[in-house]
Structure 1
Amino acid sequence: MESMNGLARIRGAYTTLGKKEQRIADYILKQPERIIHHTINQVADDLDVAESTVFRFCQRVGFKGYQALKIALATDVVAPLQDIHEDISQEDTPLEIAEKIFTSNVKTLEATRQILDGASLDKSVALLLSARRIEFFGSGGSAVIALDAYHKFVRSGLFVTANLESHMQLMSASQLTTDDVAVLISHSGASKDTLDVAKVLNERGVLTIAITNYAKSPLSKLCDVALYTVSQETEFRSEALASRIAELSLIDALFTVVMMRRGEEGRESLQKMREAISLRRM
């Protein structure tokens, strides 16, 4: 978590922050270079808040404390991301809207790439490779991402499953064991259906991986490993929609590493799948 991009993490967590925390976020986003040279008490004085409020803000956005946030912001200021985000307006042509959507997706991918944590990726891959069974869970729009993950990993030769209906998810979760791994996908990390599944999995002692946008979400607290995305909301497009491309990319990365680690077994499984699919081609 300490190596992640500070500005991207603050933007990603913004909608979950309280009013005082959003004031701190606005202050940092407008002038990150000042934070690098300010002490925590200077920031607190500027905003007329307690130092403890600033400290809690740092933890809410995924850092151990103020110093860790300053280090991340220093990296941002030295090598800032180009701000390519533009709001879509009613006056835009279809081509302009398409260009802005593509630009927003590029920014989401770049911001997510900057906060990737190598240790969390390594641990996720190790869990997937050692699992007797892997099951993907998601609700609403995240269910589509879970289904895509199943569609990829079924090619690996590993035992993978996915259910889209909430009652079936709970039933399936209740049958998993300590030898299995569950991957839970939720942009907000606060979907009741997904949290209910996570609680059942915890009761069963099942190892869990979360893919979510918020470091301090109920889901990330319930799971053994968390992989994070970063996305921003626009007037005509929710951040959940923008995050899908990052979630899909994380799953692509996990699948590719798993297949490389499986070596010849992975290649044989992929070849079997290709041969089976070829029967459907004319």
Structure 2
Amino acid sequence: MVFDNMPRTKKHIIGDYARENRVTEMRETLAYVGEAFRFFMESTNEPWEIVDCYGNYCFGNAALKRLLCLSDTFNFEGKHYSEIPARPFEECALDFYQQDVRCMNTRVPVKVLDVHMDDDGEWFCYIFERTPLVNNDQVIGLTDHGKSVIKFWKESMSYLLAMQYYFTGEKQVSMQISTTNNLSQRESEVLFFLLGQIEPKRIARYLNLSLSTVNSYIDRMRKKLGCQTTPQLIEKAVWLDLHKILPEKLMGDCHISLILD
């Protein structure tokens, strides 16, 4: 395993060993990825990053800098992720480390839901997919690609509308849209995770509730929004712009980074 001898606390995750091996590991990782792929990552509007097997940054594109409110001149290369001067890394460095451990030890891509607040009180919600880089049967790092959850929901809605038009000839959703939102705080929290395609059993674990309680909240929301099924509930919530609302309890100074599986 790559991380068998690595320290397990945020305080020690950089370590002298990681510092001594930065240049060699980063060069090996970058050589494997290649310039063409790096050019693609830099030219896209979605955040991309490359990290070696010790958590040192080899690359971070302009979209990632914008997302983290870093200057255009900021250089990721050579910095450990616990050294990135952005609030998500201050709050969740250990979470990121553990996610990388899982990705590289299992050699299986890992999807993560990240919700963070910036210094201006704005929040972003992204799904990042970490993919291990394997060269000659050795894990040498990973790539990480983020996609806006709101953009994902909007794309999903366009697919639903296209399917509806194909089967029924109707271009609009066949339901009454209400402008009122009478959801309780707990219902809003459950809906937030539900919109992120998280199963009720995992929502129960994240919110420290029983599965039956989570299901009862979902039932109540269906009744309040006039929906028969959970997919209808998600569809209507998006049309009501409820996907843009982060529940108050999850705001404050809270930063969330959760593995989605």
Pairwise same-fold verdict (TM > 0.5): no
Give the TM-score band, short-chain normalised.
under 0.3
TM-score by length of 1: 0.25
Name whichever structure is richer in helix by fraction. Answer: 1
TM-score by length of 2: 0.26
Name whichever structure is richer in strand by fraction. Answer: 2
